[in-house]
Amino acid sequence: MAVLVLGPSNAGKSTFISSQPDGEKAVFGSQISSKSDVPETGYIHYNLLHHSVAIAVAGGDIREWDLLSEQILNDIIASGCVKNAIVIVAPIAELLSRARKREHFEISTGQISGYDQGLWSKIISSVDFFALYERTFEMLDQHGIAFEVLYSSSELGTDSPSFLPSDRTLVHHNLRGAFISTPLVDDVARVNEMPGIDYQKLTLPRGVTSVNRTYGHVSEGRVKTFNILRDRTLAGRSVLDIGCATGDFLLRYERYGASALMGIELNHMRWSAAVAVAKLLHSRAEIRLENFLTAPISQKYDDVLILNVLHHVPDFKTFLAKAVEATGDRLIIEYPTLADNLFQRLMPVEGDFEQLPVVGVSSYKVDQTFVFTEAALSRLVGDLGDFTYTAHVSPIAGRKLLIFSRTHT
């Protein structure tokens, strides 16, 4: 089977391929015009930024795009010839430095024109590389393509790029120019066996995913909910996750480039697991074992998350007021509605009451205190600050997601 070597321009794909047996026979993506051109063996060299050139020339947004909307990559993946991939990652600053010095494309691509330093520098400065790599890993996972990650940097002690094995969970460090050794198998297994870690489905090093054995409503993971929040780049943003459990959303934000991360959790087992995972991944996240209502919050955060927490809080008005005070840009609330299964078992409700400001009283007996209508939450938050909001159906049955955005003047 063919091996797909992926990475942005100047990451070191050609250097890696040329160091492999028969590397000189590699096929470049630009040489593939249909699925029939995809070789069954050998190396395929593909520039992850290839499609961004067409987008940039057309004047489009090159921050992020659907990877498979690019015909060459779509043909490569659809051919069925690729079962393994090498994903090469280099520091963003180093990619930019290499682009500003480069003069030519690889000769074997058949391109005789010079390397457009200005165009490529603009592209590298504009692309959200954190999102690019996360979407690359998701694409490979979805198509059953196993992959390895290599960190490429001329800062490793040689004049030309050299390579060290990395891990998908560490790529955000690599993009910032830091190499961190992948944790040992036994260390990953030890963390994955901790009590409380099964509450969320976490992406751990070495291809390990924590298994949710107990909580059916979140057993498939939270990627669908997370993707609703990604209508903008998360690179450089700050996030406060109230009731962060084992840190799933904090770690997702971090892989997408968030720089300041705070989690607050009341459950000791989940907090302990979150701290252990953060340490394993050399995460920047600070995770506190505290009650949010009494926790000292000394700064505002771009995003404040209240995901499936508010219905457990008796004094939800004070809780919301404090969350709004900590919100710099977006307040994101996921909550049970009147249609929630647990609430319906206690008190079947028929009809659409979403435009009425109703708070339903549930019961501690079913691990739930309140349910809310959209009108109720929008009014409660609206009384605390100037916000607009969008409503989304949560992937969890009977729940909604409201994203409140501050009206900046």
Residue 205 confidence (pLDDT) above 70: yes
Quick one: three-class SS letters along the chain?
Answer: CEEEEEECCCCCHHHHHHCCCCHHHCEEHHHCCCHHHCCCCCEEEEECCHHHHHHHHCCCCCCCCCHHHCHHHHHHHHCCCEEEEEEEECCHHHHHHHHHHCCECCHHHCCCCECCHHHHHHHHHHCCHHHHHHHHHHHHHHCCCEEEEEEEEHHHCCCCCEEEEECHHHHHHHHCCCCCCCCCHHHHHHHHCCCCHHHCCCECHHHCECCCCCCHHHCCCCHHHHHHCCCCCCCCCEEEEECCCCCHHHHHHHHCCCCEEEEEECCHHHHHHHHHHHHHCCCCCEEEECCCCCCCCCCCEEEEEEECCHHHCCCHHHHHHHHHHCEEEEEEEEEECCCCHHHHHHCCCCCCCCCCCCEEEEEHHHCEEEEECHHHHHHHHHCCCCEEEEEEECCCCCEEEEEEEECCC
The pLDDT-based confidence of 26 (bands split at 50, 70, 90) is very high
| Mean pLDDT of the chain, nearest integer | 91
Query: Whole-angstrom Cα distance, residue 369 to residue 343?
Result: 9
pLDDT at 162: 81
Q: Are 10 and 90 in contact (CB under 8 A)?
A: yes
What was the pLDDT predicted at 154?
Answer: 82
Q: Which CATH architecture has domain 216-406?
A: 3-Layer(aba) Sandwich (3.40)
User: CATH number for the 2-175 domain, one of 3.10.450, 1.10.3860, 3.40.50, 3.10.110?
Assistant: 3.40.50
Mean pLDDT throughout 31-55?
A: 93
Closest CA relative to residue 329, chosen from 246, 256, 233: 233
Check whether 409 has a pLDDT greater than 80: no
Per-residue pLDDT, 363? 85
Do residues 367 and 341 make contact, with C-beta atoms less than 8 angstroms apart? no
**HEC string of 147-176?**
EEEEEEEHHHCCCCCEEEEECHHHHHHHHC
Model confidence over 244-254: pLDDT tens digits? 999 999 999 99
Q: Which pLDDT does position 269 carry in this prediction?
A: 96
| Model pLDDT for residues 254-277, shown as the tens digit of each residue | 999 999 999 999 999 999 999 999
Predicted pLDDT at 334: 97
> Does this model's pTM top 0.75?
yes
Query: What sign does the CA torsion over 226, 227, 231, 237 have?
Result: positive
Q: What tens digit of pLDDT does each residue of 142-195 get?
A: 999 999 999 999 877 655 558 999 999 999 999 999 999 999 999 999 999 999
pLDDT confidence bin for 113, thresholds 50/70/90: low
- Reported as a single tens digit per residue, the pLDDT across 285-298 is 999 999 999 999 99
For residues 238 and 303, the answer to whether their CB atoms sit within 8 Å is yes
CATH 3.40.50.150 domain range(s) in the chain: 216-406
